[in-house]
Chain A
Amino acid sequence: MEGFLIGLAAVAFGSLFWPVIAKRNSVWAGWCSAMVPLGIFLWLLTQGGAIGAGSFPKWSVEWVPQLGVTLGFRLDGVGLLLSLLVTGIGSLILIYGGGYLKGSPQAPPFFAFVHLFMLAMLGIASSDNLLLLFVFWELTSLASYLLIGLSHQESAARKAALRALLVTSAGGLALLAGILLLGAEAGTYSLVALQNSGDLIRNSSLYLAIFILVVLGAFSKSAQAPLHFWLPDAMAAPTPVSAYLHSATMVKAGVFLLAKFLPILGGTEIWHDVLTTTGAVTMLLGGLLALAQVDLKRLLAYSTMSALGTLVMLLGLGTELAIKAAMVFLVVHALYKAPLFMIAGVVDKAVGTRNITLLQGLGRPMPMLAFAAALAAFSMSGLPPFVGFIGKELLYEAQLNATSYAVFITVLGFAANAINVTVALKVGISPFRRRGTIPEINPKARKPALLTGPLLLALAGALFGLFPNLLGHGVIDMAVRDIVQRPIESHLKLWHGLNLLLVLSGVTVVVGVLLYLFQNRIRAGMHLLLERVPTASKTFDAGVQGMVSVAASVTRFFQHGNLRLYIAVVIVSLSAIITASLVSTGWSGPPQGGPMRLVPLGISLLTVFSGIAAIRSRSTVMAVLAMGGVGYGVALLFALFGAPDLALTQVLVETLTLVLFSLVMRALPPIESQTRSSGRRRITDFLIALAGGLAITATLLAVRGAPIPEAQRISTEMAARSLPEANGKNIVNVILVDFRAFDTMGEICVLAIAAIGVAGLLLGSGRRNLKAELVIATPLFRTAVSWLTPLLLFLSVFILFRGHNEPGGGFIGGLVAGSGLLLRRMGNADHPFHAPRTPLLFIGTGIAVAVLSTLPSIFLSEVFMKGVWVGALWLPLVGITKFGTPFLFDIGVYLVVIGVCLLILTRLIRSETPKSLSFP
């Protein structure tokens, strides 16, 4: 097996290497690169004996053990058959493609993707792990997508590539689901193990699901009706691609998969019915649609579809005979279809058209091509002594011997075969017959590289016809054996004697020739018919279109752009899940609370009035006043409930916010000027808001129903450790700068970010409308300020120092200092006392000090941010204060806050012209 893996590696490497060569000389690249698959082909032939004897080459190593994915390879008879096809035809395709794409920019990507594809196909043929097989399976879809899109400038090619990808990978996902179900049911992803536990699967309750999913995957890949439509469209790919992927190999992957799954899923009624029916319908439909075509490649594509239907039907029949017929037909089809495709490509190159009604007379100028075409066409028509004849005889035999619907199947098979004869005549014979002048031949079409493939394959078709047991006793036997899972003995014979089969064959040819002779009328009739029926292709496109437009309307519905509705959705969602939560748990008791106090009650009422005023306000002034009312009301409540730090901060912040608000409001139009929402909308909004408010109220009451006892809270421990361990009497401050100093670190970062952000937004805005009003340069104000500022600064330092033990601290101190500096700034616009950069330096230094204050502890006590206390000092007005890094930290906060005040407010009220200002 190592030889095979080295081959795989060489192919994988080739997808990177050969494009480089192909860029210089694609013909050369073709011949050289063909040696790799040829080598694998030969290696595979050497394995025939071992596989025949039942010792299968194996190799396995873990890849993703967590998911059960093993790089497990195992080559059995079916795998060998497919691998031989892939490498044998592959090497010829490389030669052909190198010649076909000479000088085209498509050559390098062709080599890249074809090698990728070859790798994937060999992987499918040899994987034992189903998930690994799936990896390769999807890779073939991807390679096919990229190859169909080689002519990517044309929108038709892009569309065709997309269709193929969507259908095959949708099928692929179904297959994946099937595989996962199998894995869940049988506990293994190993094909061999699964094949040995077929009964378990067939009796499982999930059998039907597994069956449907796997079969969907196989059908999409092998173009079974009604998933066939991507295949004819895939003819947008360059001909070498069509010959390789879309006739000889990739489309066979689905059939291969079914063959591999036959021991696991086969033998049931549904397997038989679904596969036989679908296969038969596809077989006939492909043939009929082929009759309507004039393009060589599309003609061949539909006949490929028909052949794929035949294969699936045979696998559905599931008898040993049918399997044998399927395997033989698989090879037969590849041996005639690939050369016919290649010939079609040469013809196209030679005269620039693939229209069969225009093609004629190519036999004289291209005799060798005509010879190859004739061989392939005879094989396709099922004439002796070609291998196609053997295939057709077996086919009829299998159909006639079917356990049920034998007649029905045989009749359909007969029709398909007759059409095959017609197609063979149209493609392999008609273009070479002379009916008029001999056409000009493009010399580019005369290359050995273009002839080698078709000729060799067509000759092989004749050879196997004459010596059928070269095939029969070798690889076919092994393949059939490994599908039916028991030893078999087959004899392929050219001559069965004069019997019903031979008669059928003869009649088939006659009918086929008749169909050929009346082709124009038939085609016209088919066209008339097709215009009236919805085709699968149109249906699919309409489906995609429909999906996109549904997607668009759904998206417009949810992403409507109206911010208010987005907010409403958040509020409604919140209310809904709160309700659900409360319903699920019930109430935990009446809300607990302390005794009613009158003053807070009064403040609360005032706050409520402010709220109502805010809602009802129809003017900016009212709104801002109401906002202040609520803010100060809350501050008073803080003060009343024993939170002096909070109250102080809230008052200062509220004031600052109001200042900011009024500064900004100057630039905004007053609320009065705006159109109101409709009355109905206001009511809806009010109801939404009310729902949200009620839900939150209910939440709070419910939580108050059973708050955790104080003794169990972490704050109890904080209160106990505050003074002895953190040297602070103001527990809130200690929490801020010591217990939870890390929060504060984030908090000053937020301030810094906000300040930088505001400054950035205001930079170079070109508006200077705030200057006149806000610079109060009256002498009185200046005098007042010249006293006030130092006073405020002094006060701020005082607040900072006492913070650790009394209400105060860095933040409050910073705000006081900031407002002092601001006042000074407002009174003295002409002589700014600080450079524009200064606020930023304050901020940067502040954060740096805060960070630095955390460093000593790292060196002293190996802990990040631990307070390190250096001693105590008596300070006037403050008293004895202990100094340590938490205090340093607070100084950092102080500096940042000053910087932020200066930065935000000076930007908002600055009087300099924007040009002279640079940020920083």
Chain B
Amino acid sequence: METIIILLTGFLFTCGFYLLLRRNITRLLVGILFISQAANLVILVLPGLGSGVSPIIQEGQTAPPPGYPDPLPQALILTAIVIGFGVIAFALVLLKNAYRDLGTDDLDSLKNTDV
């Protein structure tokens, strides 16, 4: 199963990278979202996916059910999702403003602050 998810992850990275390389600001944003999602999948899949039960200790037990997936990556991903959301929210509005003030959503025409 892990191999399938790895292939899916790699595919999402490919899509994300391709979108990052587009001229259009909107697609750039979608690209950013894609690679963040894919990175989250990386953290999930690498330590192994478990058998499908949740890492929650049932009533009366002291340990989670057998075959539980590693809870730590889940916590890391949760943090990463939230951080990613903050970043995306800001990026969205920044790019909106950039379009408004620079008058273009074509990344190829943003060449005024370099050499």
Contact = CB atoms under 8 A, between A and B. Distances in A.
Residue of A595, A627, A700, A805 with most chain B CB atoms under a 10 A cut-off = A700
B5 A604 contact: yes
Contact of A600 (B4, B48, B105): B4
Contacts of B93: 664, 757-758, 761-762, 908
A415 interface: no
Given A642-B53, A693-B17, A713-B47, A563 B97 contact: no
Contacts of B9: 696-697, 700
A811 B82 contact: yes
B55 A615 contact: no
Interface in A258-300: none
A765 B111 contact: no
Given A591-B2, A607-B8, A714 B72 contact: yes
B7 to A, nearest CB: 7
A645 B44 CA distance: 13
A664 B72 CA distance: 34
A807 B54 contact: yes
Contacts of A875: none
Please tell me the size bucket of the interface on A.
35 or more
Interface string B1-40: 1111111111111111111111111110110011001101
A343 B58 CA distance: 102
A638 B73 CA distance: 12
A690 B11 CA distance: 8
A630 B76 CA distance: 20
A701 B3 contact: yes
B33 A564 contact: no
A867 to B, nearest CB: 16
A641 B69 contact: yes
A807 B69 contact: no
B106 A751 contact: no
Contacts of A710: 47-48, 70
A642 B54 contact: yes
A707 B54 contact: no
Contact of B99 (A567, A667, A732, A811): A667
A593 B1 contact: yes
Contacts of A755: 86, 89
A761 B97 contact: yes
Contacts of B22: 564, 677, 685
A715 B70 contact: yes
Interface stretch (A106-114, A486-494, A517-525, A717-725): A717-725
Given A627-B30, A692-B14, A696-B10, A750 B86 contact: yes
B81 A646 contact: yes
B102 to A, nearest CB: 12
A552 B114 CA distance: 12
A592 B2 contact: yes
A507 to B, nearest CB: 63
B41 A735 contact: no
B105 to A, nearest CB: 6
Contacts of A701: 3, 6
Given A561-B114, A623-B27, A735-B71, A634 B37 contact: yes
B44 A693 contact: no
Contacts of A776: none
A795 interface: no
Residue of B4, B17, B53, B57 with most chain A CB atoms under a 10 A cut-off = B17
Given A568-B21, A754-B89, A594 B79 contact: no
B85 to A, nearest CB: 5
Given A559-B115, A611-B15, A715-B72, A594 B56 contact: no
Contacts of A775: none
A807 B55 CA distance: 10
A260 B64 CA distance: 80
Nearest to A740: B75
Contacts of B17: 567, 571, 688-689, 692-693
Given A611-B34, A696-B13, A732-B78, A674 B99 contact: no
A623 B28 CA distance: 11
Interface string A637-674: 11011111110011001001100110011011101001
A919 interface: no
Contacts of B53: 642
Interface string A718-750: 111011100001111001100110011011001
A614 B74 contact: no
B61 to A, nearest CB: 8
B75 to A, nearest CB: 4
17 contacts: A560-B115, A562-B108, A562-B111, A594-B49, A630-B34, A630-B37, A638-B44, A644-B56, A657-B85, A657-B88, A660-B88, A667-B100, A685-B18, A719-B71, A723-B57, A731-B64, A754-B87
- The 7 A-B residue pairs whose C-beta atoms are closest, nearest first, are A693-B14, A697-B10, A593-B2, A561-B114, A754-B86, A561-B111, A689-B17
Given A668-B99, A754-B86, 9 more contacts: A567-B20, A641-B44, A642-B69, A671-B27, A689-B18, A696-B13, A732-B78, A740-B79, A757-B90
Interface of B: 1-27, 29-30, 33-34, 37-38, 40-42, 44-58, 62-64, 68-79, 81-90, 92-97, 99-100, 105-108, 110-115
Interface of A: 552, 555-556, 559-564, 567-568, 571, 591-597, 600-601, 604, 607-608, 611-612, 614-615, 620, 623-624, 626-627, 630-631, 634, 637-638, 640-646, 649-650, 653, 656-657, 660-661, 664-665, 667-669, 671, 674-677, 685-686, 688-690, 692-694, 696-697, 700-701, 703-704, 707, 710, 713-715, 718-720, 722-724, 729-732, 735-736, 739-740, 743-744, 746-747, 750-751, 753-755, 757-758, 761-762, 765, 767, 805-807, 811, 900, 904, 908
